[in-house]
Structure 1
Amino acid sequence: MTVSGIDRLHSQLSKLEDLFPGYLTEIVEGSIVMNPVRAFHGRTIQRLWSIVEGQLPPGWAIVSDVAFPFDDANEFCPDLAVIPAEAEAENRAAYPADLIELVAEVVSPESVRRDYEFKPRWYASRGIANYLVLDPLQGHIVTMWNPGPDGYRGRDLIPYGPDLSVDTSLGKLTLPTGQLPVDPKAADPS
């Protein structure tokens, strides 16, 4: 796809987002995917942002729901991505995926397969060192690390509750998972 083709696609996505406020729009496997944003989804992102931002070393910043094109058929808008502060200061609508140092997605009923199966392969293929999947539906977090061409080689599932330490290329991050919202219909995490 040419640059003008990508720009045209971004323009179409922007129009869709304007027509359907409250929906996150991405391109996944060549299809435009729209998901409603729920309260627990937004609250999880806000809390994670607050937790991570205070622990980042100088020179790094957080972006949320901005586009990261991976190829002509896949453009993701991660719930939270850590990129160089210099790039974030450009205030762009889209950034190269290679800038991402850490990425996090919050699971919604519509995104389970994409967040757990599809996106890990793409994020790992770009060498993104750490991928976090926060799941308020199940009350747990999945940490993925050691990226390879077919996905992440390391993976842990931790129920919400205790503080979680994640070793990243940015340093150790401590996530107090007990502060994250859990859907009342979620399975008991204990």
Structure 2
Amino acid sequence: MNTPDGFKAELVRGKVVVSPWPELRCHRPMRLLREQLQAHVPKGHFADTSPFLFRFPAAERGYAPDLYVAEEEAFDEEGLHADGAALSLVGEFTSVSTRDADWNEKLDVYGRLVPVYVVVDMQESEITCFWDPSPHGYRSRTTVSFGEALQIPEPFGFALDTAGF
């Protein structure tokens, strides 16, 4: 689906949802997260914020994460949508309009497949890391306030500095 400049489309609860890219105040934390992740990505992966849709066929969903770490070779395929199984980390930055989906539906879908999910809650000034996916969702989570270090588990294995968030 072609969307207007500055907007992304996702499949949420069986509906196509068109929403704007993150607010300007998300730029700094998004950049800081991407830069720190890039130094620790698994071999053959990269961190980016480009507008790509990842498909999750088992959940009949497709999401365009605000930030992601994915296998490079997933983008060698034909088509417009990458396989969600290529993701090693997803980062979502909450807004008033996306907060519910980021904390509920996406948490459920990512929690069955994506090794690490980071929710940067811009309304609460907190960041939460989920890991250890299972058929029932993530088994582990840690939340810290902006300014505190957040441990990002393997396959990244480092302490994220959130001082600039």
TM-score bucket of the superposed structures, by smaller chain: 0.7 to 0.9
1:35 aligns to what?
19
- Structure 1 residues 137 and 124, CA, compared in 2 at 3 Å: closer, same or farther? same
Paired amino acid for 2:62: E
- Which residues of 2 match residues 1-190 of structure 1 at below 5 A? 13-14=1-2, 17-18=3-4, 21-37=5-21, 38-64=23-49, 65-71=51-57, 73-88=60-75, 93-126=80-113, 128-168=114-154, 170-180=155-165
Residue 114 (structure 1) shift = 0.6
Instruction: List gaps (5 residues or longer) in structure 1.
Output: 1-12, 181-190
| Cα RMSD for the two superposed structures | 2.0
1:187 aligns to what?
none
Residue 139 (structure 1) shift = 0.6
Look at both structures and tell me which one has the larger radius of gyration over its CA atoms: 1
8 Å CA contact 2:74, 2:83 repeated in 1: no
With normalisation by structure 1, the TM-score equals 0.76
Q: Aligned pairs, how many?
A: 162
Q: Deviations over 1:72-122 (max 9, x none)?
A: 841100112211223346696321111111111111111111111111111
Distance across 2 between alignment mates of 1:89 and 1:56: 19
Identity of aligned residues (%): 25
Paired amino acid for 2:106: K
Distance across 2 between alignment mates of 1:173 and 1:26: 30
With normalisation by structure 2, the TM-score equals 0.87
8 Å CA contact 2:9, 2:19 repeated in 1: yes
8 Å CA contact 2:131, 2:153 repeated in 1: no
8 Å CA contact 2:111, 2:137 repeated in 1: yes
Distance across 1 between alignment mates of 2:40 and 2:60: 34
More helix by share: 1
Residue 57 (structure 1) shift = 4.0
8 Å CA contact 2:92, 2:118 repeated in 1: yes
Q: Secondary structure at the match of 1:148?
A: coil
- Structure 1 residues 124 and 96, CA, compared in 2 at 3 Å: closer, same or farther? same
